[in-house]
Amino acid sequence: MVYYPGDLTSTVTWHDGSPFSAADVVLHIILTFDRAKEASAVYDESAVPAFNTFMEDFKGLRILSVDPLVIETYRDDYQIDAERMVDTWWPCYSTGPGAWHNLDLGLLAEAAGEAAFSDDKADALQVEWLDYIDGPSLAILEGQLNQALAEDHIPYSPTLGQYITTTQASARWQQLAQWWNERGHFWIGTGPFYLEEAQPSSGTLTLQRYAAHPDPLDRWAAFGAAPIAEVEIAGPEDVLSGTAATFDVQVSFEGQPYTITDTRFVRYLVIDAQGDLALSGEAAALGDGQWQIVLDEGQTGQLPAGPTRLEVIVTPGKVVLPTFAAHPFSVSVHAPMTPGGGGTLVYTDTQGTVTSIEVPAGAVAQTITLAYAPVQELLAPEGYRWAGLAFDLKAYLSDTLQPGFQFATPVTLSAVYSEGLVLGETNLLFLYWDEIAEAWIDAAETCDPASGYLRSPEEDRLSVPICHLSQFALLEPVEQIFLPLVVR
């Protein structure tokens, strides 16, 4: 079943200015059958084979509505692609587009034995092969135009007379006569360009833009470049476990927001610190090009501490190529530290290493949240070997990060390490990353004066008082031995 646009007859016109009508379609239906019937005045033996093939699966059709035009076709024809099973009956013939009135000129000429549409019939009858652009056919068509104009002729009037009034027929013939007088040919269509002039001898055509074409000039401009979505993600770099986190996703193309209607979906994946798929879902649309992902308290609470990645997949509706974007963030375990009671934060990693930070009373002036985020990879500074433990320590006041936070009194940083990861326990050190110096420095020097280490090899435990927060790593010095190169 085909539903033509409701504004078809009010927006689409033939190049001579005649409004498109259902009669143009109905004539196409009629000619599909009539040209293969021997009793027809326009019978053409060359049309019979194609007609017989068509009739092998054709069962019937019904015009359910004229305004809007709706046609129902029944065929025992099956195709893999459903779009190929649709019979539109649009008036486009093997020779090109055909309005009922300009096509009627050729039908009248053929019925009168003056010309024929096909070269086979023209050769058989020794008549002109119809040419709507040039040659002797034009004089024949002009003669039929004058007769049709005088009679307000309607082809196949018992049928088409139900779709064409005498007034409409008169208007069509007058439009075509004006076209002929101005252009000198009878070739018309409904496309964005019309034939201004043809010069068969030189093989050239002059086409002009048809200003009345309903499509705007930029209708297909969007296909000049594939509208592959461009995606940007904005969100926190640090997320406290058990607290909500919001990520904003901007979807655009060439600087313009990608509309919601042109976006099939925006989905997300959360890959946790262990490399597992922890969460997935669909982003919420806030507006054209604006989407949002909210991980609630329960969702972040189930994420293990450490480096985490939010991956966003945007699939547009106009192209089949999705766009991927990622936003890394770190999940931290945390605990409150109060002025009067201090507090303790303890974390055990997957290797069994236990890290604790003990904050005594009086070390903070206001209640803060101390956050611990493990670091999975570390490039050890020259002269050191990484003992497998690294982490970021940060302080938050009312959910606001406090850069460069200093404790009023020293707090104790301790680690119960895995003995198998170290070579010499007595040499273990905590180093911190100094962003200003861009160097690793002994954690004992975070306090002034510098603090000392408490080593408990029998418990595989190392402790050191610290006075400010940073990224810390457990390392041990290594001795480098250089052997001489002997060449014989």
Reduce the DSSP state of residue 118 to 3 states and report it: coil
pLDDT digits (tens, 9 = 90+) for 368-404: 999 999 999 999 999 999 988 999 999 999 989 999 9
**pLDDT over threshold 80, residue 421:** no
What percent of the chain stands above pLDDT 70? 98
Would 224-331 and 338-477 be classified into the same CATH topology? no
pLDDT for 83: 79
- Res 322: pLDDT: 96
Selected residue with higher pLDDT from 484 and 5: 5
- What's the CATH code, domain 338-477? 2.60.220.30
Contact 359, 337 (CB under 8 A): yes
Whether 241 and 296 have beta carbons less than 8 Å apart is answered as: no
Given this model, what pLDDT does residue 278 score?
Answer: 97
**What is the mean pLDDT of the segment spanning 51-57?**
95
**pLDDT band, very low/low/confident/very high, at 423 (cuts 50, 70, 90):** low
pLDDT tens-digit map of 302-356:
999 999 999 999 999 988 899 999 999 999 999 999 999 999 999 999 888 999 9
Tell me if 332 sits within 8 A of 241, measured CB to CB.
Answer: yes
Taking a C-beta distance cutoff of 8 angstroms, is the pair 280, 267 a contact?
A: yes
pLDDT beyond 80 at 480? no
SS3 state of residue 411: strand
Over range 242-260, report the average pLDDT.
Answer: 96
User: Cα separation of 326 and 311, whole Å?
Assistant: 4
The distance from CA 260 to its chain's CA centroid, rounded to whole angstroms, is 11
Q: Which of 350, 370, 366 is nearest to 358 (CA)?
A: 370
Is the confidence at residue 483, as pLDDT, over 70? Answer: no
Q: What is the mean pLDDT of the segment spanning 407-426?
A: 84
- Domain boundaries of the chain, sorted by first residue: 2-209, 224-331, 338-477
Place of tokens 């670091």: 375
- pLDDT value at position 420? 66
* Domain 224-331 belongs in CATH node 2.60.40.1940: yes
Asked if the model's pLDDT at residue 452 lies above 70, the reply is: yes
